[in-house]
C-alpha cells in the first residue's frame, strides 16, 4: 500500500454521459506507467474501466471517446473486435472471451453544481496529477 487513498476525481456532469453514447477519458497511472481510464453510461448507470483491452494491452476506443459498437449495447475494442458487456466489463465475444476489463470505482452524486460522475481511485490505478 502506498498510503492515503487518493481523493475522488470529478470526471464530468452526469448529463454528459448518455446511454450507449460517447465516453469520457481521463489520464491515469497504472503499474508505474501511463494509462487512460474511461467512463460510459449504460442502462442509466455510469461505469468506468481502464482503457486497455483484455486481449492485447491497447486502448479500446476507435475514435476518442467512442467505446460502444453501433447498437450501443456493447463496448468494443477497435483493434481486434473484442466485445465487452458494459455493466460487468466481461468479454462476451472475440479473441479474449472470458477475460474482462479492469474496472474503476465510480460514484455518481449531487454536487452544488449539479449531479456529477466521480472516479474513486485506488492504490494501483491513480489519476495523473497536474
Q: Which domains does the chain have, with CATH numbers?
A: 9-124 (2.102.10.10)
Number of neighbouring beta carbons within 10 Å of residue 91: 23
pLDDT at 100 over 90: yes
What is the structure's pLDDT at 32?
84
What is the structure's pLDDT at 2?
47
Number of neighbouring beta carbons within 10 Å of residue 10: 14
The whole-angstrom separation of Cα 103 and Cα 90 is 10
Task: State whether the Cα torsion 42-56-128-126 is positive or negative.
Answer: positive
Give the DSSP letter of residue 129.
Answer: P
pLDDT in tens, 38-52: 999 999 999 999 999
pLDDT in tens, 63-90: 999 999 999 999 999 988 899 999 999 9
The whole-angstrom separation of Cα 39 and Cα 80 is 21
Amino acid at each position: 500500500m502506498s498510503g492515503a487513498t487518493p481523493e475522488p476525481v470529478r470526471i464530468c456532469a452526469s448529463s454528459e454521459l448518455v446511454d450507449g453514447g460517447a465516453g469520457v477519458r481521463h489520464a491515469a497511472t497504472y503499474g508505474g506507467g501511463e494509462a487512460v481510464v474511461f467512463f460510459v453510461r449504460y442502462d442509466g448507470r455510469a461505469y468506468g474501466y481502464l482503457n486497455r483491452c483484455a486481449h492485447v494491452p491497447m486502448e479500446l476506443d476507435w475514435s476518442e471517446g467512442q467505446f460502444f459498437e453501433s447498437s450501443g449495447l456493447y463496448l468494443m475494442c477497435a483493434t481486434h473486435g473484442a466485445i465487452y458487456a458494459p455493466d460487468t466489463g466481461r468479454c462476451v465475444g472475440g479473441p479474449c472471451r472470458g477475460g474482462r476489463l479492469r474496472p474503476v470505482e465510480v460514484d455518481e452524486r449531487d454536487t452544488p453544481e449539479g449531479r456529477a460522475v466521480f472516479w474513486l481511485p485506488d492504490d494501483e490505478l491513480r489519476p495523473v496529477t497536474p
